[in-house]
Amino acid sequence: MRNNHAEPAQCGFGARLIAAVTARGPLCVGIDPHPGLLEQWGLGDDVRGLERFALGAVEALAPEMALVKPQSAFFERHGSRGIAVLERVLVAARDAGALVLLDVKRGDIGSTMAAYAAAYLSDGAPLAADAITVSPYLGIGALDPAFDLAGQTGRGVFVLALTSNPEGAQVQAAVTGTGATVAQSVIDAVVARNAGRRPSGDVGVVVGATAPVGTVRLDALNGPILAPGIGAQGARLADLPQIFGAASRHVVASTSRDLLRHGPQPAALRHAARRIADQAGALLHPPTGQLGGGTPG
């Protein structure tokens, strides 16, 4: 099997994501080996069940989808053998043609953040992905090692900005000394980092589809918006143009459990994913002039 992670990217993540979305639709599919899903697929909650589930999902979905998002925690819970499965998942998904967003939500300071960046964003690293998720709540400047290394290796970073969980509002809706909310400050920092990048910046934001999106401004963002929460968390694809307005052109919808319930049969899983991706494309990338809604914020 060819290890794509050993090969440096030829162009930035933003440009590669646009190409993938254009070809395959604006959908990110989560690979979440949740114990309940393993049981639903008739698999045990062990490393063998984890591997069959994760690699089966990748085999069905990665040849069709633009972006595949393994949730690291569900692999980590099985220890070193689970991490070994995650390594195989990363390679298999890339070899099948998908971009891989590893959902790790790391966020630390100094040499520790640099080590996290090296683990996921450096060429040849066993856990290298096309992009990772990061948390900015030790200060977005603390994430500079990830931003810098991603820029050097042609990879991407998605920064948590406005999440759907109720607890998030305690921090994200707080007002800073500038008068902006913390969430808006994170978005503004990403806007500044992506300034001047064409066709798109390599730094994206995570904005939950069930979050209060109208409380932030996304119109200046020159980068991707990952919108989780489709399906099991209550958001509907049909609502995304109204929720994100003119920023919809940047949105990649994300779904995991609501899609994965269609397994374990590969054909059924692939058919469901293709249907959702086609619907997302029609809603988020309609012909010019047909996009509904206004600009959030």
Per-residue pLDDT of the chain (297 residues; tens, 9 = 90+): 334 443 444 589 999 999 999 999 999 999 999 999 999 999 999 999 999 999 999 999 999 999 999 999 999 999 999 999 999 999 999 999 999 999 999 999 999 999 999 999 999 999 999 999 999 999 999 999 999 999 999 999 999 999 988 899 999 999 999 999 999 999 999 999 999 999 999 999 999 999 999 999 999 999 999 999 887 677 899 999 999 999 999 999 999 999 999 999 999 999 999 999 999 999 998 764 433 344 454
CA atoms within 13 A on the CB side of 208: 19
pLDDT at 229: 86
Task: Decide if 105 is catalytic.
Answer: yes
pLDDT at 3: 40
pLDDT at 10: 59
The domains of the chain are located at: 4-284
pLDDT at 287: 63
The CATH code belonging to domain 4-284 is 3.20.20.70
pLDDT at 234: 77
Which are the contacts of 228, defined by CB distance < 8 A and separation ≥ 6? 30, 164, 206, 208, 209, 254, 255, 256
pLDDT at 2: 36
pLDDT at 4: 41
pLDDT at 231: 76
**Hey, what long-range contacts does 145-152 have (CB within 8 A, 24 or more apart)?**
145/113, 145/114, 145/116, 145/117, 146/106, 146/113, 146/116, 146/117, 146/121, 147/193, 147/203, 148/117, 149/114, 149/117, 149/118, 149/121, 149/122, 150/13, 150/117, 150/121, 150/202, 150/203, 151/12, 151/202
pLDDT at 296: 52
| From 81, 88, 105, 257, active-site residue | 105
Q: What pairing do the DSSP bridges indicate for beta strands 67-70 and 251-255? A: unpaired
